């Protein structure tokens, strides 16, 4: 009999590893992966901004650069094109008055080649241009401008998305939960929450009659570091294989599961299924 000598030995409670528990290295890796609240130490300028803030900062910088480019583009264009470009731009001006004025100016006023005349911008690129009076390529930037701020908003933190999905599940909104879980997978693919989401997605897809998708989620979970729900993922995988009719793979999966967890409470059910498959 290998029962403990003192059933009330408090001091050793929790000291021994539990059967099937995640090993220390995997646990540390998972935690440190999530703990990245600040940039790694080798960053040149350490800051305490959270990970999700980086895409936001990137988007802001890009947006600012785009606005600056739009504001300066006409001037640069003129500066680069110089006098030669003046002539090219003039024919686009449809009104005869503008054309005459431009021709007169072109013929009579000698200017340094790269420096436009003071009145030229008003004649060639009027500030509120009528569509007909402005060349097509000059219309593009103002059209682009409002689109830039519509870039993707930053994804909420993984915990928020997970809670959202769980709330949706509690409200029996399976599709809402699925959307939130999938968003979590995209936004925080390496987080522990994403691994948990794989499990939930597997269950949801299986319940919705999409075993192929369920199988891919379970496989993804098992391919990763595994984790606390490894056993559940293996069971889910068996169910998905069964739903897909992949009997050979199901049989292999059941055998492996029973070999790894001979004392499982699912043993009777799985053994019966195994017998039926044989």
Partner 1 sequence: MRKSDPLEMSSDVALAQEASQGDRRAQAIVARRVLPRVRKVARSLATSTADADDAAQHALLEVLRSCHTFRGDASLERWAARIATRAALRHLQRERKRSTAGEAALDEAPAIAPGPSLADDLPRGLRSYLGELPEAQRSALVLHHALGYSLDEVAELTDVSPNTVKGRLRLGLAALRKHVRREQRIGAPNTQTAEVAR
Site residues for partner 1 per CB under 8 A? 1-4, 7-11, 13-22, 24, 27-28, 30-32, 34-41, 46, 48, 166, 192, 227-229, 231-232, 263-265
Q: Shortest distance, CB of residue 246 to partner 1, whole angstroms?
A: 26
Q: Shortest distance, CB of residue 119 to partner 1, whole angstroms?
A: 57
**Spatial separation of the C-alpha atoms in residues 63 and 137, rounded to whole Å:** 21
Our CB check for partner 1 shows the closer of 101 and 222 to be 222
Our CB check for partner 1 shows the closer of 7 and 131 to be 7
Our CB check for partner 1 shows the closer of 40 and 146 to be 40
Determine the 3-state secondary structure of 258 from DSSP: helix
Determine the 3-state secondary structure of 232 from DSSP: helix
Q: Shortest distance, CB of residue 176 to partner 1, whole angstroms?
A: 17
Q: Shortest distance, CB of residue 32 to partner 1, whole angstroms?
A: 6
Our CB check for partner 1 shows the closer of 28 and 208 to be 28
Q: How far is CA 99 from the centre of its chain?
A: 52
Q: Which residue, 218, 258, 263, is CA-closest to 274?
A: 258
- Supply φ then ψ for residue 52, to 5 degrees: -70, -20
Our CB check for partner 1 shows the closer of 125 and 196 to be 196
Q: Which residues contact 177 (CB under 8 A, 6 or more apart)?
A: 165, 166, 168, 169, 200, 204
Our CB check for partner 1 shows the closer of 17 and 91 to be 17
Name the E strands within 100-237: none
Q: Which residue, 159, 79, 139, is CA-closest to 111?
A: 79
Q: Shortest distance, CB of residue 221 to partner 1, whole angstroms?
A: 13
**Spatial separation of the C-alpha atoms in residues 104 and 144, rounded to whole Å:** 34
Q: Shortest distance, CB of residue 85 to partner 1, whole angstroms?
A: 51
Q: Shortest distance, CB of residue 277 to partner 1, whole angstroms?
A: 23
Q: Which residues contact 231 (CB under 8 A, 6 or more apart)?
A: 20, 261, 264
The answer to whether residues 255 and 263 touch, using CB atoms and an 8 Å cutoff, is no
Our CB check for partner 1 shows the closer of 213 and 231 to be 231
């Amino acid at each position: 009999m290998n029962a403990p000598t003192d059933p009330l030995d408090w001091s050793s409670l929790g000291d021994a590893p539990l059967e099937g528990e995640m090993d220390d290295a995997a646990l540390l890796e998972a935690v440190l992966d999530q703990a990245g609240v600040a940039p790694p130490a080798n960053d040149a300028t350490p800051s305490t901004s959270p990970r999700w803030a980086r895409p936001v900062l990137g988007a802001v910088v890009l947006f600012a650069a785009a606005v600056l480019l739009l504001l300066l583009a006409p001037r640069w264009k003129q500066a680069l094109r110089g006098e030669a470009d003046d002539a090219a731009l003039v024919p686009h001006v449809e009104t005869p008055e503008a054309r005459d004025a431009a021709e007169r100016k072109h013929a009579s006023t000698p200017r340094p080649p790269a420096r436009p005349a003071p009145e030229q911008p008003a004649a060639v690129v009027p500030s509120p241009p009528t569509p007909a009076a402005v060349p097509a390529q000059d219309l593009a930037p103002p059209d682009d401008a409002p689109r830039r701020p519509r870039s993707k908003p930053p994804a909420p933190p993984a915990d928020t998305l997970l809670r959202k999905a769980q709330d949706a599940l509690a409200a029996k909104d399976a599709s809402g939960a699925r959307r939130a879980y999938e968003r979590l997978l995209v936004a925080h693919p390496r987080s522990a929450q994403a691994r948990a989401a794989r499990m939930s997605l597997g269950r949801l897809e299986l319940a919705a009659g999409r075993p192929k998708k369920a199988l891919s989620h379970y496989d993804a979970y098992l391919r990763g570091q595994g984790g606390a729900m490894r056993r559940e993922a293996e069971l889910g995988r068996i169910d998905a294989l069964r739903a897909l009719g992949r009997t050979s793979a199901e049989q292999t999966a059941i055998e492996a599961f029973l070999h790894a967890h001979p004392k499982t409470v699912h043993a009777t059910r799985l053994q019966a299924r195994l017998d039926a498959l044989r």
